[in-house]
Amino acid sequence: MKRSFLLALCLSAAAAFAGVYDIADFTAKDAVMSDNQVFAANGGQELSTASVDEAAAVPSGNIVLRQKFAQESGLNAYQLYIGQVGDVSSMTALSVPSTVSYKNVIKSKLYVRRGMKPGDDAEKVYFDGKYVYIPGATSAITFVNGIATELKSEAPAASASSAPKQECDEFDVSCDEDIIAAKNSKSYDVSGDLNSTNSRADSRDYSASAAAQDVKDRFGIADEVRFWSAVALSAVAAGSAVVGVLQQMKASEADKAYKDLEKVANNVEGKIKEVCSSINNFDRCVKWYKTEATPETKAFMIDGWSYIDLQNRMKINKDTKDSYAMGRNIWFGVTAVSLTAAIVLFAW
């Protein structure tokens, strides 16, 4: 039962943190006008709100806008709006992987790159029932059920094999094999045509841009790793706190048993001293009753226990209490360290 409770608490903590990437509901009351070319009626008409089911199965000729609104409380509100589709050619169609539900994507925040903070998701996202559109983005990242999912562009790649083959005659110097070989083997332009040189320069520039973007992505991934590490540490802190509380309860039980026996021992000791008060060697008499387990010494006890038996049982109870107390301190220490580390990672 205790293990089930601990597991449920840890899972609840992890789910609570994972929820920062989800949109719980669409409750914004703000009115939105069709003031851009995405909607056919871009003359400033007010858009109607839509449900998640409507956004997942958009009627033909329509498109749904998911709009984010900043609130004074610091939390963002969201709403879905539907209208007749206009020109979406300025945006890239992003496909949803077959392993992910389109409806779940509608209820998940979308980011233009990895590593962005939970509240930095896209302000405007469009849905047509098949693809997802984000102004200015050619790809997107979302988290569905805590799993990172990438939405990629659907633009078809141009085929090089479709280019027409050059036809040459014997008087065309551009078809000369020696000149073609020189062009292919040199890193500079020998024909006076700058297109080839510019193409190679563009490719190098693209490589440099790709390398820079890779560095940004790596830092972004580091942010994501820090966030999920903080989530894991928070779950560890919650779990260890529960274990610490359980250890404290056991330590309290053992301490109570020790104190109950201590009262009995004090009562027995008083009886022994009363009996030995009439003996000439008082100290020897008291020591004998306390250290010997004989029928005479057990006369002061209930259920045949001698004073020495009582002391042994008290020692067991005290050791048990100290063991649970040490376990409590260790688990509470783990809680403090994990919670501190999680706070640092969240604030970083």
What residue spans define the domains of the chain? 22-154, 232-347
Give start and end residues of each alpha helix (H) in the chain: 2-18, 52-56, 102-106, 177-185, 195-276, 282-291, 307-347
Cα of 139 vs its chain's centroid, Å: 22
CA dihedral sign of residues 271, 275, 277, 282? negative
For the cut 50, the answer to whether the pLDDT of residue 161 exceeds it is no
For the cut 50, the answer to whether the pLDDT of residue 150 exceeds it is yes
| Mean of per-residue pLDDT scores for the chain | 78
Query: Over the stretch 26-54, which tens digit does the pLDDT of each residue have?
Result: 988 888 887 778 888 766 788 899 999 99
Radius of gyration (Cα) for the chain, nearest Å? 39
Per cent of the chain over pLDDT 70 is 70
pLDDT value for 71:
79
By the 8 A CB rule, do 228 and 236 touch? no
Tokens 């190679």 -> residue: 200
Bridge partners (DSSP) listed for residue 150: 141
How far apart CA 33 and CA 7 sit, in angstroms, is 48
Query: Over the stretch 302-348, which tens digit does the pLDDT of each residue have?
Result: 666 677 778 888 899 899 999 999 999 999 999 999 999 989 888 77
Cα-Cα end-to-end distance for the chain: 37
Neighbours of 227 (CB within 10 A): 19
pLDDT value for 14:
46
By the 8 A CB rule, do 96 and 105 touch? yes
- DSSP H/E element including 287: helix 282-291
pLDDT value for 303:
61
Q: Of 51-60, 94-103, 173-182, 212-221, where does mean pLDDT reach its minimum?
A: 212-221
Q: Which of the given ranges, 9-13, 224-228, 252-256, 297-301, has the highest pLDDT on average?
A: 252-256
User: Distance of CA 295 to CAs 44, 57, 276, 289, 298, Å?
Assistant: 103, 90, 16, 10, 5
For the cut 80, the answer to whether the pLDDT of residue 79 exceeds it is yes
Confidence category of residue 192, pLDDT binned at 50, 70, 90: low
What's the pTM? 0.47
Q: Is 298 helix (H, G, I), strand (E, B) or coil?
A: helix
C-alpha neighbours within 13 Å on the C-beta side of residue 26: 18
pLDDT value for 119:
85
How far apart CA 174 and CA 164 sit, in angstroms, is 16
Which residue type, as a one-letter code, is found at position 145?
A: N
Cα of 95 vs its chain's centroid, Å: 24
By the 8 A CB rule, do 279 and 272 touch? no
